[in-house]
Amino acid sequence: MDGLGRRPPWPAPSGRWPGPLSRIPEDLESHGSPRKPTEAHGSPRKPTEEEGVMRKLRLVIALCVSALAVLLGGAMPAQAIIGGQDATSPYSFMTSLQSGGEHFCGGSLVAPSWVVTAYHCVVKYENAPQDLTLRIGSLDWDSGGSTRGVSQVVLYPGGKPNAHDLALLKLDQPLANVPVRIGVRPAEGSPARLIGWGCRRPGQAFCSPPEVLQQLDSTVRPASDCAAAENPIDPASEICTGNPEAQAGPCKNDSGGPLLVPDDNGTWRLLGAFSRMYDTFCQEYKGIYTDVAAHRTWIESVTGPLS
């Protein structure tokens, strides 16, 4: 902190802020190591042979696209979440949305039976929630933590991928993990953290998620930094983040995942759910998040009162 007791607007070189942000809050570490699976609800459905073949095919395509990009535009940086780093402690609320054994979006546990995610991630599952599997509280998207099925997909009324991009998933059984509380939007320039299993390099049409959860300390930026004629942002319901100076930011498969801010005790609070990139291939290193607090009234109309 500076002499006025304020947190610096940018993270320290270590990727952590002084004071409360120099540690992961205890309530985020209370569920053990994800390296030792503790499946509280059984294992997710094993992929079929056909799904296994498709997984390999997607990996081959991703490698080919990356190789072509290198040939055409030079080597791309081998970074994570684009510019992030491996998380070292699990977040009890962090959720991997999966279908057919594949991670495709993130989410946040906000109550024992409810996960917040992005509208565009789950709109096609509104009438097929049984096709979704959630892994919650693990560093690895494919092992550890707890798994749950989904009994209901609730879409924000009138939501769409570029406006009010929010949805709720009801777990088929409640979970004992510590949920994340919804925070309040801080001032522009405030530090924030984003986490997810998204693409690790810009310019990729396809990618395989990193095995280990990635985290990146970022900054809440003015909405005008994310404004574009072809991709407008609503300052009242959306939040702009970005690290263009460091060439770091969210990307594909981070969708629905949380934007976090620390409270005065250093405990993480949920600020946003990732909606979309500023540009198609994550090369501007800016992200637009749906402001979860701005939608709290609707959320609680579905989940009941939240703590």
CATH class of 92-180+296-303: mainly beta
Give yes or no for residue 224 having a pLDDT over 70.
yes
Mean pLDDT of the chain, nearest integer: 78
CB 257 within 8 A of CB 242: no
Q: In terms of Cα–Cα distance, which of 3, 25, 302 is closest to 169? A: 302
User: 181-221, pLDDT tens digit by residue?
Assistant: 999 999 999 999 999 998 766 556 567 889 999 999 999 99
Q: In terms of Cα–Cα distance, which of 246, 286, 288, 250 is closest to 271? A: 288
- What pLDDT, on the 0 to 100 scale, is given for residue 87? 96
- What pLDDT, on the 0 to 100 scale, is given for residue 199? 79
pLDDT tier, 31 (very low <50, low <70, confident <90, very high otherwise): very low
Q: Bigger pLDDT: 283 or 210?
A: 210
Tokens of 187: 């001032």
Strand partners, 238: 290
User: 83-93, pLDDT tens digit by residue?
Assistant: 679 999 999 99
**Which residue bears the tokens 């969210």?**
250
Q: Give 181-293's CATH code, choosing from 1.20.120.80, 3.40.50.20, 3.50.50.60, 2.40.10.10.
A: 2.40.10.10
Give CA separation, 131 vs 58, 169, 188, 290, in Å. 20, 12, 39, 25
pLDDT tier, 145 (very low <50, low <70, confident <90, very high otherwise): very high
User: 149-185, pLDDT tens digit by residue?
Assistant: 999 999 999 999 999 999 999 999 999 999 999 999 9
- What pLDDT, on the 0 to 100 scale, is given for residue 74? 32
Instruction: Delimit the CATH 2.40.10.10 region(s) of the chain.
Output: 92-180+296-303, 181-293
CA dist 106 and 253 (Å) reads 7
User: 99-126, pLDDT tens digit by residue?
Assistant: 999 999 999 999 999 999 999 999 999 9
Backbone phi, then psi, for 26, in 5-degree steps?
-60, -35
pLDDT tier, 21 (very low <50, low <70, confident <90, very high otherwise): very low
Q: Which residues contact 150 (CB under 8 A, 6 or more apart)?
A: 125, 129, 130, 132, 133, 134, 169, 170, 171, 172
- The pTM of the full predicted model, rounded to 2 decimals, is 0.74
Residues of the chain above pLDDT 70, percent: 67
- Per DSSP (E only), the strands in 112-211 are 114-117, 133-136, 146-155, 167-171, 181-182, 191-196
CA dist 39 and 136 (Å) reads 10
Residues of the chain above pLDDT 90, percent: 58
CA dist 92 and 31 (Å) reads 7
Distance of CA 109 to the CA centre of its chain: 11
- What pLDDT, on the 0 to 100 scale, is given for residue 15? 36
Q: In terms of Cα–Cα distance, which of 215, 255, 222, 252 is closest to 240? A: 222
